[in-house]
């Protein structure tokens, strides 16, 4: 089995930039595809921010940072993925958007041995591979934020995913990227979000009902249960729009009330109060 050395990443938001950082740190040639030429500079800035964060923490030298960044290139042309051996889709958690990206990547990547991975945190892989000409090479690889620091990657095979793609993906994620993997059935939410999302939504409902203040809800779980972050702060870190998208996908599949997004969450998303990335969510990060 040929070793993966050339990687593509489609989308360069917070998660995409972190995955680019992880792959480049592993010595890989990384090509980033964004939606339009004006997005290239923003994508480059996000990757630089991710890398510089590790420099500030003493985890990476400035010399190694410069060498890492030289291994990353940016484009708005999907055709430049043609020689990639492993391509990661990292666009927002929207089923139709992800499906279109996977279909376009499949159309340009030339090697039948190449793997096309989606970072979805909630959408079944079989659904995302619908319409892809070669669905046998589509797989789920859910990284966690921040990708350079979080060791876990959830892997999910669709009903049509080939065994070779499974083996190749696990070897790449564990041996090349140095991550720990867990395998999940192809069901909405996979392992982590099936457990996490009801907990997060419960915290939001507690705030919505006036049961307790946001600071107290978070302090209760941080100090009383030794969680590193309370549910509302964690929502702010993930992004309230992402939490909503994941909850909706899970509710659509299971129709369980515990997965239904609370009204407060929906109104905050409508208002653009998405958490840390907008400066304000359940807590205020502008000061």
The token duo for 210 is 């006036």
In this structure, are 199 and 154 located in the same domain? Answer: no
Residues annotated as part of the active site? 121, 142, 154, 193
Domain annotation covers residue 285: no
For the cut 90, the answer to whether the pLDDT of residue 193 exceeds it is yes
Residues paired with residue 139 on neighbouring β-strands, in sequence order: 117, 157
Domain annotation covers residue 283: no
For the cut 70, the answer to whether the pLDDT of residue 1 exceeds it is no
Residue 131 confidence class, pLDDT cut points 50, 70, 90 = confident
In this structure, are 17 and 156 located in the same domain? Answer: yes
In this structure, are 65 and 23 located in the same domain? Answer: yes
Ligand-binding site membership of 35 (annotated): no
Task: Check the CA dihedral 55-56-58-63 and report its sign.
Answer: positive
Per-residue confidence (pLDDT) for residue 219, from 0 to 100: 98
Reduce the DSSP state of residue 160 to 3 states and report it.
coil
In this structure, are 159 and 197 located in the same domain? Answer: no
Name the domain count of the chain: 2
In this structure, are 65 and 156 located in the same domain? Answer: yes
Q: What is the DSSP letter of 154?
A: E
> CA 53, CA 13: separation in Å to the nearest integer?
16
Phi and psi of 246, rounded to 5°? -65, -45
Per-residue confidence (pLDDT) for residue 78, from 0 to 100: 95
Ligand-binding site membership of 50 (annotated): yes
Domain boundaries, position 43: 6-184
Task: Identify the domain boundary among 157, 184, 211.
Answer: 184
What residue ranges in 160-228 does DSSP mark as E strands?
180-184
60 alpha-carbon distance from chain centroid = 23
In this structure, are 223 and 110 located in the same domain? Answer: no
- The pTM of this model reads 0.89
Mean pLDDT of the residues in the chain: 95
In this structure, are 46 and 140 located in the same domain? Answer: yes
Q: What is the percentage of the chain residues whose pLDDT exceeds 90? A: 92
CATH classification at residue 272: 1.10.1040.10
In this structure, are 132 and 161 located in the same domain? Answer: yes
140-174: pLDDT as tens digits: 999 998 899 999 999 999 999 999 999 999 999 99
Phi and psi of 188, rounded to 5°? -55, 130
Domain annotation covers residue 284: no
For the cut 70, the answer to whether the pLDDT of residue 183 exceeds it is yes
**Range with the lowest mean pLDDT among 2-11, 208-217, 260-269?**
2-11
In this structure, are 58 and 146 located in the same domain? Answer: yes
Q: What is the DSSP string of 35-102?
A: SSTTHHHHHHHHHHHHHHHHHHTTSS-HHHHHHHHHTEEEES-GGGGTT-SEEEE---S-HHHHHHHH
216-260: pLDDT as tens digits: 999 999 999 999 999 999 999 999 999 999 999 999 999 999 999
In this structure, are 96 and 169 located in the same domain? Answer: yes
Close Cβ partners of 2 (under 8 Å, ≥ 6 residues apart):
85, 113
CATH classification at residue 44: 3.40.50.720
In this structure, are 203 and 147 located in the same domain? Answer: no
Closest-CA residue to 126 (of 160, 163, 91)? 160
């Amino acid at each position: 089995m040929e070793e993966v050395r050339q990687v593509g990443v489609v989308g360069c938001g917070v998660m995409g930039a972190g995955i680019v950082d992880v792959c480049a740190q592993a010595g890989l040639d990384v090509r980033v595809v964004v939606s339009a030429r004006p997005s290239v500079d923003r994508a480059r800035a996000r990757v630089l921010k991710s890398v510089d964060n590790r420099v500030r923490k003493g985890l990476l030298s400035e010399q190694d940072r410069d060498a890492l960044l030289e291994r990353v290139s940016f484009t708005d042309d999907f055709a430049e993925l043609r020689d990639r051996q492993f391509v990661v889709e990292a666009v927002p958690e929207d089923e139709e958007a992800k499906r279109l990206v996977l279909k376009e990547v499949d159309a340009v990547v030339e090697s039948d041995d190449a793997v096309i991975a989606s970072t979805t945190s909630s959408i079944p892989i079989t659904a995302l591979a619908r319409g892809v000409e070669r669905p046998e090479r589509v797989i789920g690889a859910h990284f966690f934020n921040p990708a350079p620091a979080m060791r876990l990657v959830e892997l999910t095979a669709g009903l049509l995913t080939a065994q070779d793609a499974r083996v190749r993906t696990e070897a790449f994620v564990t041996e090349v990227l140095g991550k720990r993997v867990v395998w999940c059935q192809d069901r909405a939410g996979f392992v982590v979000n099936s457990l996490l999302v009801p907990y997060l939504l419960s915290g939001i409902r507690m705030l919505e009902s006036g049961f307790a203040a946001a600071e107290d809800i978070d302090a209760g779980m941080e100090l009383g249960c030794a969680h590193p972050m309370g549910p509302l702060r964690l929502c702010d870190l993930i992004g309230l729009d992402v939490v909503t998208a994941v909850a909706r996908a899970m509710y659509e599949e299971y129709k369980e009330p515990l997965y239904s997004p609370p009204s407060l969450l929906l109104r905050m998303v409508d208002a653009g109060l998405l958490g840390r990335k907008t400066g304000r969510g359940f807590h205020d990060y502008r000061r």
